[in-house]
Amino acid sequence: MSAIKFKIEKRLKGKLGRAGVLETPNGSIQTPAFVVVGTKATVKALTPEQVKDLGTQVVLANTYHLYLQPGDEIVAEAGGLRKFMNWQGPTMTDSGGFQVFSLGAAYGKEISKVVKITDPSLMIPERFDDSDAPCLAKIGQDGVSFKSHLDGSVHYITPEKSIQIQHNLGADMIFAFDECTSPAEDIRYQTEALDRTHRWAKRSLEEHIRLNKENKIALFGIVQGGREEDLRKKSAKSLSEMEVNGEGFDGFGIGGSFAKEDMSTAVKWVNEILPEEKPRHLLGIGEPEDLFMGIENGVDLFDCVAPTRIARNGSLYTGIGNINILNSKFISDFSKIDEDCHCYTCQNYTRAYLAHLFRGKEILANTLASIHNLYFIVSLVKKIRQSILDDNFADFKTDFLMRYK
């Protein structure tokens, strides 16, 4: 019996998309939904009350970072993630698998979650085979050895250890330990990594069932396979059918580092196979155009650090595209960031004031910018959901993307 319940309220005609409700032990989530990232049990520059007031339904924290600091045992002693960070709604934690990528193959190479096919990093796959390349994570068949980015101490994370850490953190929804691969890796390595991810998924499921006696936590398996259609479909099928003592995964994550041009097809390949009655989460993706792509191809949940990360650099979402508030033309611009936005920042402050805060390197700049960007993305996904319910998704998508450039 699953710790969560997922009900589809309406399907998107001719597509895989749907609007639904995901019930967790600590509240319901209307899907599709954007999951706000609070990496270290905090959404940077914001209080939990501010995060809630901008419309957030669910927050995701990072297993790797909380394991290193303050330690998952400390979070457990505090009563779990929700009590520790004073967040009243549903929570999620990732598995630490993305750090296999960011601290391993991608370390020091400026390779992000999403790259373009023309990116130089995709044209030189040999750079990933350089055993002398500096990195903080090394992959073995049973787990991954990490060198802490904080103090250089060495840690070994297995699927069992990842699940144990996540149970200590106590989120409503957690993820199986996986290996996130670069789209630059060749098919030989992608195949090897996928087989390893599936073995780790089985071990994650076994450990989760052992620990989840009170049935308060749901486990999502993570589909990998890179840019390869056969591997993606194989992964979706394997995880859909995977069971331990008659119990399978409660939902599924779609993981990996994507080539931008391939993302929609990769998501579609997977969601055509994954069981329709279980929720799907697209990991680490959250740009406006990607949200439409994911939703029409059957994604229910998204998480991404981009809204707050770019906010702290002065990049702000608007309905007609992003603006850089550090541009000199905004110094005396006394209009709102976005005339159609109803966030706290836009209701009370002007572009000129935000420009002043950023130029003066005031801490409040990060807070006000983050409120706006998160409100924009959270609200956009809510509007997309409503467009599904109202049978006007296609028109809404066309209208938004024509203006957003």
Q: Is residue 310 part of a domain?
A: no
pLDDT, position 395: 98
- Both 216 and 334 in a single domain? no
Radius of gyration over alpha carbons of the chain, in Å? Answer: 21
Average pLDDT of the segment spanning 246-275: 91
- Both 358 and 230 in a single domain? no
Residues tagged active-site: 94, 303
Q: What is the mean pLDDT of the chain?
A: 91
Amino acid found at 251: G
Q: Is residue 205 part of a domain?
A: yes
Work out the percent of the chain whose per-residue pLDDT is above 70: 90
Amino acid found at 340: D
Work out the percent of the chain whose per-residue pLDDT is above 90: 80
pLDDT, position 102: 58
pLDDT, position 128: 35
- Both 295 and 328 in a single domain? no
- Both 116 and 215 in a single domain? yes
pLDDT digits (tens, 9 = 90+) for 263-299: 889 999 999 999 999 999 999 999 999 999 999 999 9
- Both 188 and 48 in a single domain? yes
Q: How confident is the model at residue 109 (pLDDT cuts 50, 70, 90)?
A: very low
- Both 113 and 54 in a single domain? yes
Q: 260 near 117, Cβ under 8 Å?
A: yes
At residue 299, φ and ψ (nearest 5 deg) are -85, 140
- Both 353 and 295 in a single domain? no
pLDDT for residue 96 is more than 80? yes
pLDDT, position 100: 58
Q: How confident is the model at residue 130 (pLDDT cuts 50, 70, 90)?
A: very low
What count of Cα atoms within 13 Å lies in the side-chain half-sphere of residue 147? 9
Of these ranges, 118-127, 149-158, 363-372, the one predicted with the greatest mean pLDDT is: 363-372
Q: How confident is the model at residue 259 (pLDDT cuts 50, 70, 90)?
A: confident
pLDDT, position 132: 44
Q: Identify the residue with better confidence: 374 or 122.
A: 374
User: Of 215, 270, 293, 251, which is closest to residue 12 (Cα–Cα)?
Assistant: 293
pLDDT, position 115: 54
What count of residues does the chain have?
405
Q: How confident is the model at residue 134 (pLDDT cuts 50, 70, 90)?
A: very low
**Pairing mode of beta strands 218-223, 173-175:** parallel
- Both 13 and 109 in a single domain? yes
- Both 287 and 354 in a single domain? no
- Both 293 and 379 in a single domain? no
Secondary structure class of 395 (helix, strand, coil): helix
Number of domains comprising the chain: 2
pLDDT for residue 150 is more than 50? yes
pLDDT, position 404: 95
Which of 304, 338, 354 is at the close of a domain? 304
pLDDT for residue 171 is more than 50? yes
- Both 271 and 383 in a single domain? no
pLDDT digits (tens, 9 = 90+) for 189-215: 999 999 999 999 999 999 999 999 999
pLDDT, position 138: 81
Identify the domain containing residue 191 by its residue range. 5-304
Which of 266, 281, 304 is at the close of a domain? 304
pLDDT, position 118: 53
Q: Is residue 309 part of a domain?
A: no
Q: How confident is the model at residue 185 (pLDDT cuts 50, 70, 90)?
A: confident
pLDDT, position 313: 98
Q: Is residue 237 part of a domain?
A: yes
Tell me, what DSSP letter sits at residue 125?
G
DSSP 325-358: TTSGGGTT--S-S-TT--SHHHHH--HHHHHHHH
Q: Identify the residue with better confidence: 130 or 142.
A: 142
CA distance 208 to 217: 9
- Both 139 and 235 in a single domain? yes
CATH number at 287 reads: 3.20.20.105
pLDDT for residue 322 is more than 80? yes
CA distance 322 to 28: 31
DSSP 264-279: HHHHHHHHTTS-TTS-
Q: Is residue 182 part of a domain?
A: yes
Q: Is residue 30 part of a domain?
A: yes
Q: Is residue 214 part of a domain?
A: yes
Average pLDDT of the segment spanning 125-148: 65
Which of 271, 304, 337 is at the close of a domain? 304
Average pLDDT of the segment spanning 46-70: 97
